[in-house]
């Protein structure tokens, strides 16, 4: 019985460590975190098939989502595009209208130049649907031109929806 809690703790530790430590190009560090996390996950799946209580697994999922709120996105730079689109929406520019490479010349702000320099897809139109664009816009508005806060509010929205899906899954 206590083995389940030990494996859940190890799973959480490795996932949080993976969110805090490696960079996008640190292949072996990512492996060092995610391989044990996946092993723990599969062991937990085995326990869940024999266990009648779903409460532990729900609490573990919620705790991990909340714990990940305080990590910075090291494994992807897509968040820069989210923030870019949110900023465009806040200055009443349509993020679907032009590619960032076509918009940067009309925007004279160090903030946008910084974001533009970190975009991984400046030559492409945005692909994110309007609902996500609204989340990007509100995250930027709540973040008040502070990248760390903007990312934090993005994660808050995603955590709310993830936790909502956990509770919604109980009804089926």
Residues 68 and 83 reside in one and the same domain? no
Q: How far apart are CA 126 and CA 122, in angstroms?
A: 9
**Of 73, 96, 119, which marks where a domain is finished?**
73
Give the domain extent around 95: 78-159
| 43 and 101 share one domain | no
- For residue 165, being part of any structural domain is answered with no
- Cβ contact 87:111 at 8 Å: yes
Mean pLDDT, rounded, of the chain: 90
User: DSSP class of residue 91?
Assistant: T
Do 90 and 144 sit in the same domain of this protein? Answer: yes
pLDDT of residue 106: 80
Q: What is the pTM of this model?
A: 0.85
Helical residues (DSSP H) of 91-129, grouped into ranges: 100-103, 110-118
**Residue 24 per-residue DSSP state:** T
Looking at the fold, whether 86 and 155 belong to one and the same domain comes out as yes
1: pLDDT strictly greater than 70: no
* Domain assignment present for 7: yes
Distance, in Å, from the CA atom of 124 to the CA atom of 137, rounded to the nearest integer, reads 19
Is the model's pLDDT at 56 over the cut of 80? yes
The pLDDT of residue 136 is: 96
| CB crowding 131-158: b at 16 or more within 10 Å, else e | ebbebbbbbbebbeeebeebbbbbbbbe
């Amino acid at each position: 019985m206590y083995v389940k809690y030990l494996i859940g703790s190890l799973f959480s530790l490795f996932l949080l460590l993976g969110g805090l430590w490696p960079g996008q190009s640190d292949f072996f560090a990512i492996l060092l975190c995610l391989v044990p996390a996946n092993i723990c996950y599969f062991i937990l799946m085995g326990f869940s098939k024999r266990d009648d209580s779903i409460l532990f697994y729900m609490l573990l999922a919620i705790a991990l989502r909340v714990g990940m709120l305080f990590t910075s996105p090291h494994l992807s730079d897509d968040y820069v595009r989210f923030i870019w689109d949110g900023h465009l929406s806040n200055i009443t520019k349509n993020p679907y209208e032009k590619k960032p490479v076509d918009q940067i010349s009309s925007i004279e702000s160090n903030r946008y130049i910084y974001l533009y320099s970190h975009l991984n897809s400046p030559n492409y139109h945005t692909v994110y649907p309007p609902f996500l664009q609204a989340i990007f816009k509100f995250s930027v508005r709540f973040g008040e031109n502070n990248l760390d806060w903007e990312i934090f509010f993005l994660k808050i929205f995603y955590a709310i929806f993830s936790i909502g899906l956990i509770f919604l899954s109980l009804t089926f």
